[in-house]
Amino acid sequence: MLPQQIVFGVLTAAIVLSALRVVTSKNIVHCALYLVVVLGGIAGLYILLAAEFIFAVQLIVYIGAIVVLFLFGIMLTRAPMGAAPDLDNDQRWLGAIVSLFLVDNFSEHPIQIF
């Protein structure tokens, strides 16, 4: 197994786990910090693809600007910093069923880029 494949697997696992934590965390500041991990992992994937310019843009624009803007917005609006139990709803099963239908739809009709 090539070292690039190992790095790709590690980055992919970090991206997927952090993306799940972005949508499941009840602390909004933690969500923003998990988003930093997701965007940093994607920047790492750009390095593996030898796309250095896109890597730099990913770091400067997304991690350096967008996430900082999110954090400033969170802090300036005086959002509650602790866990907020009212951010959850009872529609998880409906969301899971809809996502299964979407996965089934994409598997029958794959998106063709070229």
Each residue of 31-54: pLDDT tens digit? 888 999 999 999 999 999 999 999
pLDDT of residue 107: 57
* CATH T-level assignment (fold) for domain 3-85: Four Helix Bundle (Hemerythrin (Met), subunit A) (1.20.120)
Which is it for the CA torsion 8, 10, 16, 18, positive or negative? negative
Contact between residue 41 and residue 53 where contact means Cβ atoms under 8 Å apart: no
pLDDT of residue 114: 45
Per-residue pLDDT for 113 more than 60? no
Contact between residue 41 and residue 14 where contact means Cβ atoms under 8 Å apart: yes
pLDDT of residue 110: 58
Neighbours of 55 (CB within 10 A): 18
pLDDT of residue 21: 93
Per-residue pLDDT for 108 more than 70? no
Sorted by where each begins, the domain ranges of the chain are 3-85
pLDDT of residue 18: 96
| Residue from 22, 62, 29 nearest 43 by CA | 62
pLDDT tens for 39-95 read 999 999 999 999 999 999 989 998 888 888 888 887 788 766 666 666 667 788 888
Per-residue pLDDT for 97 more than 90? no
* Element spanning 21, H or E: helix 3-24
